[in-house]
Structure 1
Amino acid sequence: MTKAEPKIQPFNIVIIGQSNRLQYEALLFAASFVATNPDFLGRFFVAMPQPGPLWPDDPSIKSAYVIELIKEFGAEILPFESRHFGQSYPYGNKIEALAALPEGEPFVFFDTDTLILDDLTEVPFDFDRPAASMRVEGTWPKLELYGPGYSEIWKSLYDRFGLDFESSLDLSQPDEYWRRYLYFNAGFFYYKCPKIFGDLFAEYAMSIKTDPPEPLICQSLNPWLDQVALPLVIHKLGGGRDALPDGYLDGNYSCHYRLLPMLYARESDKAVTLLEDISAPNRIKKVLKQYEPIKRFVYQGKGERARNMFDREDLPRREQMIRQRLKKNGLWLR
Structure 2
Amino acid sequence: MAAPNLLILAQKGRLEFEAIIFAASLRHAAPDFTGRLIVAEPQPDGAWADHDTRIDEETRALLESLGAEIALFTARHFGAAYPYGNKIEALSVLPAGEAFAFFGTDTLICGPLEQVPFDAAPPAASMRREGTWPEPPLYGPGYGGIWQSLYDRFGLDFASSLDLSQPDEHWERYLYFNAGWFFGPDPAVFGQRFLDWALSVRRDPPEELACQSLDPWLDQVILPLVIHSLGGGRPGPDLAGLDGGVTCHYRNLPLLYARESDRVLEVLEAAVAPNRIKKRLREWEPAKKLIYQNKGRDKVRPLFAGGLPSREKPIRQTLKKNGWWWD
**TM-score after normalising by structure 1:** 0.93
For 1:5, the equivalent position in structure 2 comes to none
Matching residue's letter, 1:206? L
For 1:326, the equivalent position in structure 2 comes to 319
2:182 is aligned, of 174, 178, 189, to 189
**Pairing of 1:1-334 with structure 2 (within 5 A):** 8-126=1-119, 129-243=122-236, 245=238, 247-304=240-297, 305-311=299-305, 314-334=307-327
Distance 1:163 1:87 in 2: 31
Instruction: State whether residues 302 and 331 of structure 1, in contact with CA within 8 Å, keep that contact through their aligned partners in structure 2.
Output: no
Q: Which runs of 5+ in 1 are unaligned?
A: 1-7
Matching residue's letter, 1:110? F
Distance 1:276 1:61 in 2: 27
> Does 260-269 or 105-114 show the bigger shift?
260-269
Relative distance call for 1:127 and 1:202 in structure 2 (3 A) is farther
For 1:3, the equivalent position in structure 2 comes to none
Instruction: State whether residues 182 and 241 of structure 1, in contact with CA within 8 Å, keep that contact through their aligned partners in structure 2.
Output: yes
Q: Which runs of 5+ in 2 are unaligned?
A: none
Secondary structure of the 2:101 match is strand
Distance 1:315 1:246 in 2: 26
1:198 Cα deviation from its structure 2 partner = 0.4
Q: RMSD over aligned Cα, in angstroms?
A: 1.6
Secondary structure of the 2:244 match is helix
After superposition, give the CA deviation of every residue in 1:94-114 in whole Å (9 maximum; x if it has no partner). 111111101100010000000
After superposition, give the CA deviation of every residue in 1:272-322 in whole Å (9 maximum; x if it has no partner). 11211222222222211221111121122220121123259x532111122
After superposition, give the CA deviation of every residue in 1:16-49 in whole Å (9 maximum; x if it has no partner). 0111100000011010011122232221100111
Distance 2:235 2:215 in 1: 27
Instruction: State whether residues 127 and 190 of structure 1, in contact with CA within 8 Å, keep that contact through their aligned partners in structure 2.
Output: no
Distance 1:175 1:9 in 2: 39
User: Percent identity at matched positions?
Assistant: 58
Relative distance call for 1:244 and 1:212 in structure 2 (3 A) is farther
Secondary structure of the 2:309 match is coil
Distance 1:284 1:331 in 2: 23
1:126 Cα deviation from its structure 2 partner = 4.3
1:128 Cα deviation from its structure 2 partner = 5.5
After superposition, give the CA deviation of every residue in 1:119-162 in whole Å (9 maximum; x if it has no partner). 11111224551000000000001122223110110000000000
Matching residue's letter, 1:43? R
Matching residue's letter, 1:70? L
Distance 2:168 2:118 in 1: 31
Distance 2:128 2:240 in 1: 11
Instruction: State whether residues 96 and 187 of structure 2, in contact with CA within 8 Å, keep that contact through their aligned partners in structure 1.
Output: yes
Instruction: State whether residues 130 and 239 of structure 1, in contact with CA within 8 Å, keep that contact through their aligned partners in structure 2.
Output: yes
1:244 Cα deviation from its structure 2 partner = 5.2
Instruction: State whether residues 127 and 192 of structure 1, in contact with CA within 8 Å, keep that contact through their aligned partners in structure 2.
Output: no
Alignment: residue pair count: 326
Matching residue's letter, 2:9? I
Instruction: State whether residues 129 and 243 of structure 1, in contact with CA within 8 Å, keep that contact through their aligned partners in structure 2.
Output: no
Distance 1:118 1:170 in 2: 30
Secondary structure of the 2:46 match is coil
Relative distance call for 1:103 and 1:53 in structure 2 (3 A) is same
Secondary structure of the 2:47 match is coil
**TM-score after normalising by structure 2:** 0.95
After superposition, give the CA deviation of every residue in 1:247-290 in whole Å (9 maximum; x if it has no partner). 31111000100111110011121211121122222222221122
